[in-house]
Chain A
Amino acid sequence: MYTLPLARLIEQLQRLPGVGPKTAQRLALYILQRPDTEIQALAQALMDAKEKVGQCSVCFHLTADPICEICLDPTRDRHLICLVIDSRDVIALEKTREYRGLYHVLGGLISPMDGISPEQLNIQPLIQRVHRERPEEVILAISPSVEGETTTLYVGHLLKAFTRVTRIAFGLPMGGDLEYADEITLARALEGRRELD
């Protein structure tokens, strides 16, 4: 049906998350129509990103440098470390512009089913970092799934010896009506209620 080089391109594109056979075909045909320079730039960008982007040696956030911009930024509050699962979470939190502390990227969740034990996550480097830098607080920003809860429990327990450990609140979305919130979120929000300031 497709000539071999085109079939190969479609096959490669289809491996990307969220890309099915139809989208892969559309993308491949689009790529063929573009000028050579544009496609070279795309190929170069792919190679460069793969080659140059690695993990920050301090916080494990994605960066092209040995240490990421956030860790190097002198205006950030160095007494705060926010623990997240992956770099996407860092980006989401950065977009809020509310948080001015540092991050630590865990790289996954404890999940024996997927063969992920605590040793495979960036937990030891975190303990060493907390021991070394002595932050005033570590904020755990991990989703409340079964694996997330377990990871929170584990990390929280380890860190308590060194510093104050908090976790982000779970509950109602802003601007959302109570009556439209689902039962799980509502039950969770009730559990996490607090005194009116």
Chain B
Amino acid sequence: MYLKSLSLRQFRNYDQQCLHLSAAKTIIVGDNAQGKTNLLEAVELLSTLQSHRTNRDGDLVLNGETTGQIHGILERQMGTMELGLTLRRNGRRTVILNGQTQRRYLDLLGLLNTVRFSSTDLELVRGGPEQRRQWLDRLLTQLEPLYAHIWQQYQQVLRQRNALLKSHHANSTRPSQEELALWDAQLTATGIRVIRRRSRALARLSPLAIAWHQLISGCRETLEIRYLPNVKSETDHLEAWQQAFLVKIEERMMAEYHQHTSLVGPHRDDIEFTINNTPARQYGSQGQQRTLVLALKLAELELIEQIVRDSPLLLLDDVLAELDLKRQNQLLEAIQDRFQTLITTTHLGAFDAHWLRHSQVVTVESGRIMTDQQPLILTPNQPHHSNATKI
């Protein structure tokens, strides 16, 4: 898939700007706080309807305005489509596909697939379990847009169950067994759906990540990815899962009363990475952790490509500078022209000259996008769309 253009209106620090993406790789240069990441965030929003930076649409709208808009023209094998998202300071957002407002958000999900790789991803191994869950859930939404619905339902059950536990804490009473059992059943039903899908996605991703990891580390190390669901079942039968949930809920009942929050379910899952049978989180060196995250990201690209049967976009947010030259080259070699890539950076110095020649370079300065550097970078016999056609 190929994103041809991205238009922003009153989005973050952009008043009205349009970016035409004319090469397989676009390098966005600018000083800090000029709006580079905002561009990638806009692409991310069209892709997943979520931003990794905020949950509030108000943050996404230009200061002093009430609505913001993102619009993108996407070329896929099945044809060209226009994706639109209107964000409001107060009120619900609107998703628009080919000029038509869609009733469900789900209708926009899964059309534009992206893999985001930012410097915060380097914390994926060392950071808390929540980061790893978010990473997996984001991938799952790309692979199976329906997962967004399944996850929302689970969260709604969780909110309701927590409200029940809290309300009785406030009145120093215990919730009726009957009412709690009701929400236990819902937690179990929706929780099993989440666990099964997470487990399936990791099982698919794992061999790809292991292969990439071996390649990058030069076969010296063996990676293992293990899903650590909060509720474990010996077999994958529905009854076994239900039983496992009930047993665990029973076990944690007293703790739940005291902490008045739900302690059982996939909102407490984790994913463990081990290198040569040692947890990467505790023992991996910074270099080892970076190799691991790089392998995960490459595996994500490959898995989405396999399942969606179209190549996703890669969004590299300020991350190349964080990788050493060897890993940079491995990443760039793996991408080549196969995946449209948007890269943000503060300086072009770190880029290979040959590589720069094949890229579109744009400069961002306080909410303005300038493409005037482009003719300097592209050689005269390199028409704008030459790279685009390879996608």
Partner-B contacts on A (CB < 8 A): 110-113, 115, 117-118, 146-147, 149-150, 153-154, 182-184, 187
Contact = CB atoms under 8 A, between A and B. Distances in A.
Contacts of B153: 146
8 contacts: A110-B182, A112-B163, A113-B159, A146-B153, A150-B182, A150-B183, A154-B182, A182-B107
B104 interface: yes
B161 interface: yes
Nearest to B165: A112
Contact of A118 (B107, B157, B179): B179
Given A113-B163, A118-B179, 9 more contacts: A110-B179, A113-B159, A115-B167, A146-B160, A147-B160, A154-B178, A154-B182, A182-B104, A183-B146
Contact of B145 (A111, A154, A183): A183
Interface in B99-114: 104, 106-107
Interface string B190-207: 100000000000000000
Contact of B186 (A115, A118, A153, A182): A153
Interface residues of B, number: 22
Contacts of B145: 183
B330 interface: no
A27 to B, nearest CB: 21
Given A153-B186, A182-B107, A187 B160 contact: no
A112 B186 contact: no
B164 interface: yes
B183 A184 contact: no
Contacts of A154: 178-179, 182
A146 B167 contact: no
B267 to A, nearest CB: 15
Contacts of A115: 167
Contacts of A110: 179, 182
Contact of A150 (B146, B149, B186): B186
B186 A149 contact: yes
B186 A146 contact: yes
A184 B186 CA distance: 17
A183 B150 CA distance: 11
Contacts of B156: 146-147
Interface string B158-180: 01110110010000000000110
Contacts of A147: 156, 160
Contacts of B182: 110, 150, 153-154
B167 A112 contact: yes
Contacts of B107: 182
A29 to B, nearest CB: 25
A146 B157 contact: yes
B186 A183 contact: no
A33 B156 CA distance: 48
A146 B107 CA distance: 21
A184 B160 CA distance: 22
Contact of B106 (A113, A150, A183): A183
